[in-house]
Structure formats: C-alpha cells, structure tokens
Amino acid sequence: MKELSSSPEVTTKQQAPRSRYPRYVFILFCFINLLNFLDRNIFTGASNAIAKDLHLSLDQVGYIASAFLIVYTLATIPLGLWADHSPRKNVAAFCVAVWSIATACTSLVSNFTLIFLSRMVLGIGEAGYYPAGTALLSDYFRRDQRARVMSVWGVAQYTGIFIGFAVGGVLGAKGLWRQAFLVAALPGLVAAFLVWRMREPRRNQADEEALLLAEQGVLPAIEKELPPLPARPTTSFAGVLKQCWELLHIKTLIVLIVVQTFAFFVLSANVTYLPLFLQQRDTFNLSQEVTGIYSGGVIILAGIIGNLSGGFFADRLERRFSGARVLVSGLSFLVSAPVFVVAVLAKDFTVFTVFLFLTVFLLAIYGGPCTAATQDVVPSWLRSSSIAVSMLFAHLLGDAFSPAIIGIMATKFDPTHGQHFAQNLAGRDLGQALLITCTPALVLAGLAGIFGSRWMKADVDAALEAEKAGEPQSV
C-alpha cells in the first residue's frame, strides 16, 4: 500500500497510520459538515425572533435565505476549479475560516441590509468547502465505499440542522439569537486550522491502492485497470471553459443536475419556512422553543435513517445495476410527492408528524448516492470541478431563488398584504405556496432519476478509460 506522499516506497511503520488516517479525516470533515449546516440553520431556527427584532417582512426572510444561496452558487465554480488545481485541504481550510468569520459578524447586524450582506459572505465560505471536501474524501475511500461514506458524511448535515434549529429556536425565544451566532463561529476557526494541518492525499489514491490490494488478493479483482496519477488539467481560461464544457457532455452528470435542481428547490423552501409554518396560529401555533426542538428532532431522526438507507441500498444494488445510485434517488423523490402533499394539508398534529417524518426520510435518501455518482462518472482530476459544475446549475436553477419565490407567493396569497405574518396567521399562505411549487418539482426530480439511470454504466466506463489515457475525458 502506498504512503500518503507521492513516494512509491512503503515501510511497515507507514502502513498502520495510513489505515487510520482516513478515519481521522472523515471524522474531521463530518464535524465541519455539522458546523456548515449549524451555521446556516441558526438563522432558520431563530427567523421569527430575528424578523420581529429587525422588523422584517415574510418576503425579506426569503430574500435573506436566497442571498446566501445565490452567492454560494456563483462562488462554487471558481472555488471548485481552485480546488482542482491546488491542495484541496488549503481551499477547505480557507473556506471554513471565511464562513466562521461571517457567522460571527451576523451577531452584530442591526437591519435588513447588514444581515443580507453577512449571509452573502457566509455563502462564499461554504461554496468552496463542499467541492474540495468531497474530492478529498473520494481520494481517501475507494469507489465501492463511496456511497456509504458520503451518506454517513451526510448524517452530520442533519445533526447540524437539528442543532441549528434547536439553538436558534431556544435562544431566539429568549432574545439571545446574537449570542448563538457568535458561539457557533468559534469551533469553525479551530476546524479550519486542523484542516490546514492535515495531509493532502494523492489524486485517485484510494482507487490505486484498491488495485494493489486486488492484485495481492486482499480485495476482489477489479475489472478495469486503474492508471498512475494523470496530469493536472490546464490552468488557462480557455482550458477551464473546455473542461466545464466536457463535463456538461456527460449524460449522467446532466441527469444529476436535473434531479438536484428540483430537489434543492424543495429542500431549501421547506427548511427555510418549516419553523415559521409551525409557529403560525392558523396551523399548529407552536412556541419558538418547541418549534426548534421539534422540527430539528424530526429532521435529524428521519434524515439520518434516510441518508444511511440511501447509501446502503445504493451500494448493494450497484452490484447488480450500475445506475442504482441515480435510480434509488429518483424513486425516493417520486414516492415523496404524495407524502409531502398529505403532510402540508394535515390539520391533525399527529398525522402531520408522521407524514413529515416520511417526507424527510424520502428526501434524505438521495444525498450519498448522488454525491458518489457525481464522483464516479468523471476522472479523478475533475472531481472538485464536477461537484462545482453540478452545484452551480442545480443551485442556480433550483434553490437559489426558491426561498424568495415562496416568500413572495405567500405574501401575494395574503389578502391583507403582510398582516397575516405580522399576526402569526400566515400558515395557510405558506402551505399553498409550498404545494403549488414543490409537488411538481418532486415528481420531475423522480422521473429524471428513474429514466436517466440507464446512462451511468457507460459514463463510469468512459471515466475509467480517461484515467487510463491520463488525459481529459473526450466528448
């Protein structure tokens, strides 16, 4: 087994740490992913209190959520390309530090403009971490493990949402939402330092080591030969454009973009407005403290089960059908559409809870399989860029504007033009906006995944051939 540096020589003393080090990296990135979604969702959990303190309207809450997502989307491409041309650990460390500082600055805001700007900067920080992080994990864990690894990594996402909702809800109700942002920022700076100090793996390292173990009989034989480390992609502007253009000719990547576009619209809209929906007097009239803990609890429990189930079943089914990762995602979205409708229309709190749980469970299944599939269909030198390109289009066309759209629609459905929200009576306005937009989006995401799964085998084979050739994948 090769050591983490580029040197081919291996010593007995080097092999043991290598086997443990990926676990350390994995735990560190799980912690960072938790902080990622914690920082995002403190605002969501405390949105009612923040809106009242800063005199925000319902549509302004949507604009603030969209400010983060739009910048997050636009910054993904340059930061993803940076990660494909530089040590990815440095990109991740820089981005974690930026978003932590932005979170701390949110505690100082006094009006709509300042909180809007602080959330924009948060988007810059978080945009680079995801492409760099997924590429690093893909080089620490081999191809047949990736869906499960990415699914477990996604568990931290739901843990972060839960803590963000709970902390934002509880402290927001006590008028301490500013302190919540300040405290949440400190662990991120520590994590940024740890990432900066970690080892950078060779690109394609895990798959190369899997080939060596297969040759030694430790792992099952691998059908395709994996090549040495390919040359880095060009850094010229024309080369970067050509690289992105080639990525958009990979059919499975296009399918994943379409699936995630509709899925992100639904996920962002519902995460942004779920606490507000529950607190309205014409829905369930929950207090802010109870809302944060309840909604976060349902999301973490159902999200973890769904995320782990998606990775497990996708990896198992992948042995029989090479497009399983895309197929499993599509099926989960299609089934979630009628379940979501029942949840939004439910008037009984028990019925709502059951169908909310089922909705979150089904929506969580896609995380690991889609991320792993995005890595599998491209050569190793394009893994950060593939995530960046897919995130650019999926977020820009999907969730970047969805909170603002839902906020505007709910305000338009309010015959009093904003008084419903001021009096905590905007639940049905929000529900109507969510049903009209999210239900067809889930159906379209499901159909795209189901019918698009047939192309994955050919795209994986093409990626492996590109690795063998050691040059960018041809169109």
Model confidence pLDDT, tens digit, residues 65-81? 888 888 888 887 788 77
Q: Read off the pLDDT band of 126 (50, 70, 90).
A: confident
Q: Which one of 19-23, 106-110, 433-437 scores highest in mean pLDDT?
A: 433-437
Q: Read off the pLDDT band of 240 (50, 70, 90).
A: low
Cβ–Cβ under 8 Å, residues 85 and 384: no
DSSP structure string for 217-234? TSSPPPSSPP-SPPPPPP
Cβ–Cβ under 8 Å, residues 443 and 340: no
Task: Note the pLDDT of residue 84.
Answer: 72
Identify which has the larger pLDDT, 226 or 113: 113
Query: Measuring CA to CA, which residue among 79, 380, 342, 76 is closest to residue 209?
Result: 380
Angstrom CA distances, 308 to 141, 314, 321, 368, 466, stand at: 17, 10, 19, 8, 31
- Out of 16-30, 189-203, 210-224, 428-442, pick the least confident: 210-224
Task: Note the pLDDT of residue 237.
Answer: 55
Average pLDDT, the chain: 83
Task: Note the pLDDT of residue 206.
Answer: 64
For residue 221, give the 3-state DSSP assignment: coil
Q: What is the pLDDT of residues 371-430, one digit of tens each?
A: 888 888 888 777 777 877 888 888 889 888 899 999 999 999 999 877 898 888 999 999
Q: What is the pLDDT of residues 160-204, one digit of tens each?
A: 888 998 999 899 888 899 999 988 899 999 999 999 998 888 766
CA distance 473 to 289: 52
Task: Note the pLDDT of residue 227.
Answer: 39
Backbone dihedral region for residue 417 (phi beyond 0: left; psi -120 to 50: alpha; all else: beta): left
Length of the chain: 475
* Positions of CATH 1.20.1250.20 in the chain: 19-216, 237-467
DSSP structure string for 129-181? HHHHHHHHHHHHS-GGGHHHHHHHHHHHHHHHHHHHHHHHHHHHHTT-HHHHH
CB atoms within 10 A of CB 27: 11
Reply yes or no on whether the pLDDT at 224 is more than 50: no
Q: Read off the pLDDT band of 17 (50, 70, 90).
A: very low
Q: Read off the pLDDT band of 14 (50, 70, 90).
A: very low
Cβ–Cβ under 8 Å, residues 123 and 67: yes
**Which residues have a Cβ under 8 Å from the Cβ of 50 and sit 6 or more positions away?**
43, 56, 115, 172, 177
Q: Read off the pLDDT band of 222 (50, 70, 90).
A: very low
Cβ–Cβ under 8 Å, residues 385 and 82: no
Reply yes or no on whether the pLDDT at 223 is more than 50: no
Task: Note the pLDDT of residue 210.
Answer: 60
- The domain defined by 237-467 folds into Growth Hormone; Chain: A; (1.20.1250)
Q: What is the pLDDT of residues 357-387, one digit of tens each?
A: 999 999 999 988 888 888 888 887 777 778 7
Lookup: tokens for 367: 């995380």
For domain 19-216, is the CATH number 1.20.1250.20?
yes
Reply yes or no on whether the pLDDT at 11 is more than 90: no
Q: What is the pLDDT of residues 441-464, one digit of tens each?
A: 999 999 999 999 999 988 888 888
Reply yes or no on whether the pLDDT at 238 is more than 60: yes
Torsion from C-alpha of 63, 275, 449, 262, nearest 10 degrees: -20
